[in-house]
Chain A
Amino acid sequence: MSTTPLAPAASPAPEASHAPGASPRPVAHPSYLGVDTTLRSWLLTTDHKRIGVLYLVTLLATMALGGFFALALRIEHLTPNATIVSAMTYNRMFTLHGVIMVWLFLIPSIPSSFGNFVLPMMVGAKDVAFPRLNLLSYWIFVAGSILVLLSTGIGGIDTGWTFYPPYSSISATAVPLALLGVFIIGFSTILTGLNFIVTTHTMRAKGVGWMRLPLFVWSIYATSIIQVLATPVLGMVLLFVVVDNGLGWGLFDPARGGDPVLYQHLFWFYSHPAVYIMVLPGMGVVSEVVASYARKNPFSYKAIAYSSLGIAFVGFLTWGHHMFVAGMSKFDAGAFGVLSMLVAVFSAIKVFNWTWTLKRGAVALKTPLLYIFAFLFLFVFGGMTGVATASMSLDVHWHDTYFIVAHFHFIMVGGTLTAFLAGLHYWFPKMCGRMYPERLGMLSAALVFAGFFVTFFPQFLLGNAGMPRRYFNYPPQFQVLHIVSTVGSWVLAAGLILTAFYFLWSLRWGAPAGPNPWGSRSFEWRTASPPPKHNFRREPPFEIDPYDYTQPLPDEVYQ
């Protein structure tokens, strides 16, 4: 297997030079990093690339915070009763862990960082359609996140990330503040989605038709549609809980005439589509990475592109599968079950397409591709356990147990997080102009995969055995599996910390990447790394397809 570190496609270092002969202006242009280096120029930037980097740095910080809570939760479960914290603290921690990971990390993760950075380049544009709105979206996100984190300071919140009333209507913790924070973050989600939709429609360069868009654009486009349509429902329902809890309205509290099941319908009307907000962008990364390292066209471009839209659409019709035992009619339950099966078929189509893209390719095994293999295994497993829970009699047993916890972590961590890490390794050279150390990358990918599996696989078994989720005390017969799971979380953490170290190291000492270290045909690789402020110095003709590996890549770099 090729582990030769960094054999970039023989291009010279980015800032020192430019592609031979092709560029019309023989001077080196400052990269987007070099144009202006003041703090102010960063905080008030409207450059999509800088905003992407701002998001990336912020999101890595929130992920670290969420991860810190996760490790603490796992340590708590080393023993059946109190280990390091009290029950109340435990409840606040799992709530914060969930809220941070879902709204402060996973939902914006890939779209706001890599989407912002590469989507405009992929469509051949200078920037997104509304650059200032983009900056606003970032600061709204920061403001909302600060509110959420402030709520920790004034008592935290102990309802679980699902905020089910009437518990959330009467909980004495800082529910209103935290929910307002999430509410505000919602605006950022909507603005980003809107921006990407308009950018994809109106900013495509000449020659970049819909069927020539890199597949990542398709998946971000589908995600954006969900973001724009579903997030308002979340906003509304969260406000209702805020007035219930803060002002005693009782819209969802039966003691005051409200209906708690209505809340669940509204919440999942957003939150099931939201799971696709989290996973569709990851699927986009997979499509890019697989094609680039296999040097081959996708097995079926259209199937991958359209199934993204299919998921976005049918994903809106399955929310009821979260409520099979919440008190819904048998007919409704059956209908939601069957619709859930449909949405899974779209994902299955993608999985087989990615795998068969490797066939007759010229595959180079690099860290991102290793992560994609982890993704394939974990996502298929996690997705099929989703289908299993939609086989309704099984869900009666599994609902609200560790089985469900394992199911969604397989997809959200095993799927989205590994895709995020794949994307990080894949585009890092583009963002910073430097390579990461390949061997260490492979090592940490292996650690992340192993750690993840050891952490979450036992949770399927715990769920089968009947261990309910959100339990502080647990019956002692579950201790062995809990210990295994906790040890796994340390391996996972080790892999991630190692990754953080070598990326920091590479920022300064990594080998120069050159414009296109992977030999990809996708448009973002046709400019320098890091790219100049306006992405392409000349209007590029994009004469060859983003997945055309039948002919050599023209030498020209449009920097």
Chain B
Amino acid sequence: MDILRAILALPSGGSTVADRIDLLHGFVITVTMLVSTFVFVTAAWFTARYHRKQDDQLTENVSATRGGEAVLIVGILSMFLLWWVIGFRQYVEVRDPPEGSEVVYVDAKQWMWKFAYADGRVSNDALTVPVGRPIKLVMTSRDVIHSFYVPGFRVKQDVLPGRYTTLWFEVKEPGTYPIWCAEYCGVSHSLMRGEVRALGADDYARWKRQGDRPPPDADCGRGPGSCGDTSLVEQGRLVAERRQCVACHTLDGQKHIGPTWARLYGSERVLADGRRVIADEGYLTRSMMEPTADVVAGYREVMPSYRGTLTAGETSALVELIRSLRDAPAPSGITLPRLEVTAASDGGTSP
């Protein structure tokens, strides 16, 4: 494995998926080298062997046989399909976070990475994670498209404004691994770098106790400098009140103008147009930014769009709040009396 990596100039494999991906890499590139060399050498050999002897030499027609063509096509296609089968399975594995991953929110902007942990702390450009546990990043961008790339883990995912994308990895060895932005995002694109600090169990526990304090001007959903000791879930509650989500949504399972947030995360939603979707981070953010895109069956289209109103920090806090309610007590089935809330405030900027 190390020899393979040295030949291919690959960085050492820090994540649980790296070894298998590198094996496929070695296989694919070896075949590529062999085939291109084979074609080249064959052409050169034919050239030497059938060199033109006199200026007006004639040749007999030679044509491919059907059988030969068929063998060639089937052979090539099966080699390619083999690569695809292996590659696709690995791809699905890299895309699907395992159950029970620890979540960190990533907020990208020109030209820095911000990380918000579930316990409310934040950091810039340094992501601290424990080894041996799957970590799931829920990422969004405040401006243009960026791409979160850790070469040592063989993972990459574009980070988009107005949407949440996810990426997961599990680190094998403690150490630091560089993060590079892989999607061109402007003049300092190449300086948008960070690092993953993977800590062993003890170090991680110590970090959890002391950690890097949030920078004084960090934004945890209530404007600059709002990062205190409140956890992200707690902040989510505050945002839900401030932005008046609770005028239509409840946190305790009761139906209201809008569906309750209890047990919402991860559940299957039946939409008004008959589609069924799983309520993941992407769905939740879309519901806030573009409520009419996925209207839940049985509800009216009254929810205003919060695109451009909710900051990325607020959105992460809300998503984390809704995630925290996934195991809330079963809904009681009581329907609150309806308040006449109109969508007038269009995002409700007033507190």
**A interface list, Cβ under 8 A from B:** 1-2, 7, 9-10, 87-88, 91, 158-160, 164, 166-167, 170-171, 254-255, 257, 260-261, 294-297, 299-300, 303, 324-327, 330, 333-334, 337-338, 341-342, 344-345, 348-349, 351-356, 358-365, 369, 373, 376-378, 380-381, 384-385, 387-388, 390-394, 396-397, 399-401, 461-462, 464-466, 468-475, 481, 519, 548-552
Contact = CB atoms under 8 A, between A and B. Distances in A.
A93 B180 CA distance: 22
A295 B58 contact: yes
Interface string B267-292: 00000000000000000000001000
B8 A470 contact: no
A364 B52 CA distance: 5
Q: Which 8 residue pairs of A and B lie closest in terms of their CB atoms, listed nearest first?
A: A466-B151, A254-B162, A391-B87, A393-B90, A358-B46, A471-B190, A392-B91, A300-B64
Contacts of B21: 393-394, 396-397
25 contacts: A2-B51, A9-B55, A87-B187, A91-B189, A294-B59, A297-B59, A297-B62, A303-B69, A325-B158, A338-B88, A341-B80, A348-B72, A359-B50, A361-B46, A376-B39, A380-B35, A384-B31, A384-B35, A388-B28, A391-B87, A394-B24, A397-B21, A397-B154, A548-B61, A550-B58
B145 A167 contact: yes
A267 B350 CA distance: 40
Contacts of A397: 21, 25, 151, 154-156
Contact of A373 (B43, B52, B95, B289): B43
Among B11, B58, B147, residue most surrounded by chain A Cβ atoms (within 10 Å):
B58
Contacts of B25: 388, 394, 397, 464
Contacts of A333: 91
B165 interface: yes
Nearest to A259: B162
B94 A396 contact: yes
B77 interface: yes
Contacts of A337: 84, 87-88, 91
Contacts, number: 293
Interface of B: 8-11, 17, 21, 24-25, 28-29, 31-33, 35-37, 39-40, 42-44, 46-47, 50-53, 55-64, 69, 72-73, 76-77, 80-81, 83-84, 86-96, 143-145, 147, 149, 151-152, 154-158, 160-163, 165, 178, 180-191, 289, 307-308
Contact of A361 (B50, B89, B93): B50
Contacts of B161: 166, 254-255, 260
B47 A365 contact: yes
Given A295-B52, A394-B24, A166 B73 contact: no
Nearest to A378: B36
B74 to A, nearest CB: 10
Given A261-B160, A376-B39, A396 B154 contact: yes
Nearest to B57: A362
A341 B91 contact: no
Nearest to B143: A166
Contacts of B53: 362
